[in-house]
Structure 1
Amino acid sequence: MSADAPAPRTRRTRSLRESVGSIVLGFELIVLFLGTLVAWGLHAAPAGVVIGGGGALIVLAVFAILTLRYRSGTWLGFAVQILAIVAGIWVHMMFIVGALFLAIWIYAMYSADKAERVKATQQPNGTENPL
């Protein structure tokens, strides 16, 4: 390496909330895509509405993943969960699938926050902070 070469960029450390949230939303992306195909195959609505609505929900989920480092990303994730439940109007199984993902989302966000609070109270040597 030459002396003029820039130092390698270090990666940003992701929070537990961001990591777990992206996993949940990543799996949900697959379900949303397959749900869109089911709605299209069942002719639940005109094809443009089904593809447009499913595509918009998928784009919203991707945007939520990209913004999970901020509090607004978590709220976008909640919006994706609610809209997945609303999709049950056209594909009735989405009521159940959306409710399951909402429960997983709530549990994941609660557990990640709890784990980060516990981690914040620990001192570097692994013992708990007395305060």
Structure 2
Amino acid sequence: MTTGPRRQRSVQELLGSIVLVFEAVVVGLAALVVNGLGGVSPVVALGGGAALCLALFATAGLLRYPWAPAVGWVLQGLMILCGVFVTMMFVIGALFAAIWTYAMFSGVRIDREKRRAS
């Protein structure tokens, strides 16, 4: 089986996928905290955390498509809304939204500069 050359990933795609995967790990740990605190049922805490983790991982893998960064923005909003269950998630969600914003805008700028230089 021969494979062709690998597709060149954009800087925006690389930075975005790094942010989303790291965020998925944090969401998984936060789901365990929410479950341990007992504020909501384990189905909501662990099921919701698992669903958000899967959405983050899936979006990280789909960032090559032009619509995927918009899904990433929606997921950042959901991450902030997790603060309803654990107040500290408002802060963590806002931090990840700031990192996501930086990754998206810096990635676009760097990709533009790379295209201009070549």
Tell me whether the two structures share a fold, i.e. TM-score over 0.5: yes
Question: What SS class does the counterpart of residue 9 from structure 2 fall into?
Answer: coil
Q: How many residues align?
A: 118
Using the size of structure 2 for normalisation, the TM-score is 0.94
AA paired with 1:22? Answer: S
Q: After TM superposition, give the deviation of residue 9 of structure 1 in Å.
A: 2.9
One of 101, 104, 107 as aligned partner of 1:106: 101
Larger CA Rg, structure 1 vs 2: 1
Q: Is the 8 A contact 2:25 2:53 kept in 1?
A: no
CA–CA distance in structure 1, aligned partners of residues 54 and 113 of structure 2? 34
Q: After TM superposition, give the deviation of residue 8 of structure 1 in Å.
A: 3.6
Report the RMSD for the aligned CA atoms in angstroms. Answer: 1.1
Q: Which structure shows the bigger proportion of residues in helix conformation?
A: 2
Unaligned runs of 5+ in 2: none
CA–CA distance in structure 1, aligned partners of residues 73 and 23 of structure 2? 12
Using the size of structure 1 for normalisation, the TM-score is 0.85
Which structure has the higher relative contact order (CA within 8 Å, separation 6+)? 2
AA paired with 1:95? Answer: F
One of 102, 108, 111 as aligned partner of 1:116: 111
Q: Is the 8 A contact 1:60 1:76 kept in 2?
A: no
Residue 25 of structure 1 corresponds to: 20
